[in-house]
Amino acid sequence: MNLFRTIEAAARRHPSRLAFHGRLGGITYEALWERSGRLAAFLEKELGEDRRPLCVYGHKEPLMIVSFLACVRSGRAYCPLDTSMAQERLDETAAAVGNRLVLAAAPLTLADKNIQVVDPNMLLACTEYSGRIDPVLENGPDDVHYLIFTSGSTGKPKGVPITTGALQHYLDWYFEAGYAGPKAGMERVLNQAPFSFDLSVMDLYSSLTSGATLWAVDHDLQQDQPALLDYLKEGRLDHWVSTPSFAEMCLADPSFRGENFPEMDTFLFCGETLPVGTAARLLDRFPRARVINTYGPTESTVCVTSVPITKDMTLSGKDLPIGVPKPGSEILIRTEDAAGTVRYTKEPGVRGEMVILGDTLSQGYFHEPEKTKKAFGPVEWKGKTQIGYRTGDGGRYETDGLLYCDGRLDSQIKYHGYRIELGDIEANLLRQDDIASACCVPMREGGIVKGICAFLVRKDSMTPDSYEARKAVKTELRALLPRYMVPKKICFLPSLPMNGNGKTDRRALEAML
Amino acid sequence: MDAKNMTKEEVTEMVLDLLEDITGDEVVREERDINLLEEDLIDSLDYVELLLNVQDQLGLVIAPSELKREEMDTPNKIIQVILSRRDA
């Protein structure tokens, strides 16, 4: 597809329909197209030949998406920055991106006074600029569409540029698979993730290209459960895009069920492992909706695999599959033997690192040739050499033809000399009937792992904590795992803490020890 | 720290803290006759760690080989062993 023409057509078809709705304001399709075009013309006049990416700062304001479209309509990438980011991160990112302008949909001050912040009032005025944008200037398939800095658990964030072409390949798949577009019957879509987290690309662009309304949840609302549920019900959502943690939080409210969301048709998950219990409870409470699990790193445009989760899968006693790669992409399992010989395979049962090939890959990290070389490199497959991205995630194909994710390879810890994959323990904890979610963290003392603590949320949060309950969890685990992998400490919590992106906050849990 | 200058209650509290750390469960505090071995709350590596900590924090040297497991299989027995060593 050409996403510009597709969004423009949606604006022609439904000019007065809301493209975006949030507690910080909304905007119709007509206004979105019109204002983004005028802002694009302003940027072109102001920046001329300077085609560096532009930082766009804010949270869930309509001006955010107006600015995103304005950038790409003037042939420039945008780099979304969220209000939840630390000031230091904002300053660093604005400096790294390098443009002398920053578009701010929310009040912003930057340390570098040479960077001009276009504040919210000025930005709004620029969307009323008298000029018109020439469609010739729009991004082509090879131009960078967005630049997202991945937070990364350690070290400096890396900028991941994604081209308009990669985004269009991703959307083609979504239309074809019926996750968006005419087949999906999409009218109102949940936006949970902040725009600085690429999960939001899934809802934003599938909604805009389908002519649907994006129903945005802001940060404060996410902290206020009763108000959140009311807001979600009011949205009469038919498509849901969130992290599994966010859905889990909603499930804690008994009114989060099909009767109160009669239009709900599809749940799409990405960004974290989908726990069996979360999927099972959704299928149970929303018998008419489908639950789709997806997988993919930012480096390959949001996600590259998908699979509808069935009730049978949730009863199989295994972890849930991440599905099959989309057309145009391929996932290989990379293994390396003791002699350092690297092999790629799709043979069932072989565990290794997942490597992604295909038409939605980033060309590499922004201004980081060394890091790019480490993660992106040539892969020989079926007699052809292609660029592959090493995800750092473990995975395996099974005989059912589906891929399963084994978690981060670098989340391994060393305990009493054993290499332990925390995700492995979590997957086994989630096989227990009464456990809704699980997060295992190392208990460190002076940098040494002294044990593992499992933080657990039970399906029935009213069950009192007791030694017997903690012991039962360990006893059941001992039947499945070697002794050294059984957590020393079991902690029941009413819910797991979430970070700004709506993922389980592992650092906050470690800090509780 | 020297156990000789501590009250019986202080020693008890310190041992319970250690046991709670090592077993990872506060039950050792609430049920002091719980059998740590039968309940799988402690293993041989944990015993070594316990005795090393007793040496560090209470100044009492107890070699792992000196005592039979049955003599140290509940929080109460462990506290008794440590108190009797202190008073010896």
- Predicted-complex ipTM score: 0.84
CB A381 within 8 A of CB A330: yes
| DSSP output for chain B | --GGGS-HHHHHHHHHHHHHHHH--THHHH-TT--TTTTT---HHHHHHHHHHHHHHH-----GGGS-GGGGSSHHHHHHHHHHHHH-
Domain that holds residue B50: 3-87
Per-residue pLDDT tens over the stretch A282-301: 999 999 999 999 999 999 99
One DSSP character per residue, A373-390 reads HHHEEEEEETTEEEEEEE
Q: Work out the mean pLDDT of chain A and round it to a whole number.
A: 93
Chains A and B form CB pairs within 8 A to the count of: 21
Contact A57, A194 (CB under 8 A): no
Q: Which residues of A touch B39 (CB under 8 A)?
A: 471
Residue A153 has a pLDDT of 47
Is the domain spanning A3-242 CATH 2.40.50.140? The answer is no
Q: Which residue of A has its CA nearest to B27?
A: A467
* pLDDT per residue as tens digits for the range A425-473: 998 898 898 998 999 999 988 777 888 999 999 988 777 889 999 999 9
Of A137, A111, A106, A125, the C-alpha closest to A40 is A137
Q: Are A322 and A293 in contact (CB under 8 A)?
A: yes
Mean pLDDT on A6-11? 97
CA closest to A487 among chain B residues? B24
Residues of A in contact with B23 (CB under 8 A): 488
Q: Which residue has the tokens 């022609």?
A: A12
pLDDT digits (tens, 9 = 90+) for A321-353: 999 999 999 999 999 988 889 999 999 999 999
Q: What is the pLDDT of residues A463-506, one digit of tens each?
A: 788 999 999 999 999 888 888 889 999 999 999 998 888 889 98
| Average confidence (pLDDT) over A202-228 | 95
**Is residue B52 pLDDT above 80, yes or no?**
yes
Cross-strand partners of A101: A116
3-state secondary structure at position A150: strand
Q: What percent of chain A has pLDDT over 70?
A: 99
Q: Choosing among A465, A488, A490, which should be mutated to test the B contact, i.e. which has the most B CBs within 10 A?
A: A488
A506: tokens are 């592992």
pLDDT confidence bin for A410, thresholds 50/70/90: confident
Look at residue A409 in the predicted model and tell me its pLDDT.
80
Contact A490 B39 (CB under 8 A): no
pLDDT, residue A213, reads 98
Task: Note whether B24 contacts A416, CB cutoff 8 Å.
Answer: no
Burial class (CB in 10 A: 0-12, 13-18, 19+), A46: middle
| Identical topology for domains A3-242 and A320-407 | no
For A248-272, what is each residue's pLDDT tens digit? 889 988 999 999 999 999 999 998 8
DSSP-derived secondary structure letter, A440:
E
Nearest CB neighbour to A451, from listed B24, B27, B39: B24
**Max CA pair span of chain B:** 34
Tell me the pairing of strands A329-336 and A351-358.
Answer: antiparallel
Cα distance between residue A320 and residue A307, in whole Å: 10
Give me the pLDDT at residue A491, please. 95
Please check whether residue A261 is in contact with residue A233, taking contact to mean a CB–CB distance below 8 angstroms.
yes
* Of residues B27, B43, B45, nearest to A467 (C-beta): B27
Q: How far is A220 from chain B (nearest CA, A)?
A: 36
Per-residue model confidence (pLDDT) at position A155: 58
What tokens were used for A136? 């010739």
User: Contact B8/B83 with Cβ under 8 angstroms?
Assistant: yes
Q: What percentage of chain A carries pLDDT values higher than 90?
A: 79
Of residues A478, A483, A489, nearest to B24 (C-beta): A489
- Predicted pLDDT of residue A102: 98
What does the pLDDT read at residue A154? 47
Q: Taking the domains of chain A in order of start, what are their residue ranges?
A: 3-242, 320-407, 416-511
pLDDT of residue A481: 85
Give the closest residue to A468 by CA, choosing from B32, B38, B27. Answer: B27
> Side chain identity at A313, as an amino acid letter?
M
Spatial distance between the Cα atoms of A192 and A127, rounded to a whole number of angstroms: 26
The predicted model gives A76-87 an average pLDDT of: 94
Contact state of B43 with A483 under an 8 Å Cβ cutoff: yes
pLDDT tens string A140-193: 999 999 999 986 544 578 999 999 999 999 999 999 999 999 999 999 999 999
DSSP 8-state symbol, A353: E
Please name the CATH architecture into which domain A416-511 falls. Answer: 2-Layer Sandwich (3.30)
Question: At B67, which CATH number?
Answer: 1.10.1200.10
CATH 2.60.40.3880 fits A320-407, yes or no: no
